[in-house]
Amino acid sequence: MSTLRTLLVFLKRDFLIEVSYRTSFLMQAFGIFFSVLIWYFVSRVVNAPSTTPGLEGVDYFSYVLLGLALLHYLSSAMMSFGGKVRSEQMTGTLEAMLVTPTSIGTIVLGSSLWDFLLTSIKVIAYLAIGRLFFHVVIRLDSLLPALLIIALTVLAFSGIGILSAAFVLYLKRGDPITFLVASASALVGGVFYPPEDMPVWLGGWSRFLPITYALRALRRALLRGSRFADLLPDIRILMLFVAVLLPLGIFAFRFAVRKARQEGSLVQY
């Protein structure tokens, strides 16, 4: 309970910092709207029929809108932990927090929470703009399974993100894994186009990425209103990713903290 309260303190801190930049919210809102607008026109040019393999029976604009929304979660989960550690190291605030009795795990998680909250707002904004202005059909009756899929996706990506934070703490620079996973997810994960439409030697790599299953399940839930039983195979695979990636990230992070304390490099960058 006290950890939860401490996490909320980080949210309040980041909210206060965010609102101190007066036009920040407005600019981000415009950014989302323009992004949706751009992809709307791209989809008109692409004009792929909903029967295209991998499009899950929906039009291309709806397909890519969900892809973009989930890509934001991927970015937040993978970049936020390491990015926050690095920026707090560079501003000198990490040391000030580490001399308090609050655990470093809570500090890193707390520092990333605002990004997740902001991302969630962005995702809702994407879907809302899509629905209100571009008539994308969002099936709200499948909201609960969709939330479960998003939660599992965030946890799986967070495992990689925490691994990235471990790299930053120990090696003082961004890790190659995050770059590799982020690039591969955008390339073959089914964000902008179905991996089924790619050459097998390339598209085949998509099965090793959690985003492939997350996107497929999310599109089926929110765009087609699939039943929970139909989503279960993808949910199971996502759970497997969580079971492997999250403990791996936490183990690596603990190892990095201990090594950095031994080397005296915890707050160096």
Partner 1 sequence: MGHAGEAVSVAILTERLTKVYVKRRSLREIAARPFRRAERVTALAELSLETRAGEIFGLLGPNGAGKTTFLKILAGLILPTAGRALVGGIDVARDDRAVKRSIGFVTSDERSFYWRLTGRENLEFFGRLYGLSAAQARSAGRSLLRVMEMESLADRQFMAYSTGMKQRLAIARALLHDPPVLCLDEPTRSLDPIAAKHLRRFVIERLNRERGKTILLATHNLQEAEEMCGRLVVLDRGRVLRQGSVAEITAGLPGKDRYVLIVSGLVSPPADPRWTLEVERRDGAVVRMSAAVDRDGRAFSDLLRALLEGRGTIVSCARREPSLQEVFDMMAPDEERSGP
C-beta of 92 vs 247, nearer to partner 1: 92
Among 213, 47, 232, which residue's Cα sits nearest to residue 145?
Answer: 232
The answer to whether the CB of 254 falls within 8 A of the CB of 223 is: no
Greatest pairwise CA separation for the chain in angstroms = 59
Please check whether residue 167 is in contact with residue 174, taking contact to mean a CB–CB distance below 8 angstroms: yes
For residues 126-154, b (16+ Cβ closer than 10 Å) or e, as one string?
Answer: bbebbeeeeebebeeebeebbebbbebbb
In angstroms, the CA 84 to CA 253 distance is 14
* DSSP helix, strand, coil percent of the chain (3-state; round to 5): 80, 0, 20
Q: Is 199 in the site for partner 1 (CB under 8 A)?
A: no
Site string for partner 1, 66-105 (x = CB under 8 A): -------------------------xxx-xxxxxxxxx--
Q: Does the footprint of partner 1 cover residue 3 (CB under 8 A)?
A: no
Q: Is residue 266 close enough to count as binding partner 1 by CB under 8 A?
A: yes
What's the closest the beta carbon of residue 269 comes to partner 1, in angstroms? 12
Structure tokens at 123: 């995702």
Query: To the nearest whole angstrom, how small is the minimum distance from the Cβ of residue 116 to partner 1?
Result: 19
Which part of the chain contacts partner 1 (CB under 8 A), choosing from 17-25, 38-46, 224-232, 238-246? 17-25
> Should residue 255 be labelled a site residue for partner 1 when binding is judged by CB under 8 A?
no
Least distance from partner 1 to the Cβ atom of residue 102, Å: 4
Query: Between residue 107 and residue 166, which ones bind partner 1 under the rule CB under 8 A?
Result: 107
> Can you say whether residue 209 is alpha, beta or left, with left for phi > 0 and alpha for psi between -120 and 50 degrees?
beta
Is residue 261 a contact point for partner 1 (CB under 8 A)? yes
Of positions 2, 23, 47, 51, contacts partner 1 by CB under 8 A: 2
CB of 256 to partner 1, least distance (A): 13
Applying CB under 8 A, the residues found at the interface with partner 1 are: 2, 5-6, 9, 12-13, 16-17, 20-21, 91-93, 95-103, 107, 258, 261-264, 266-267
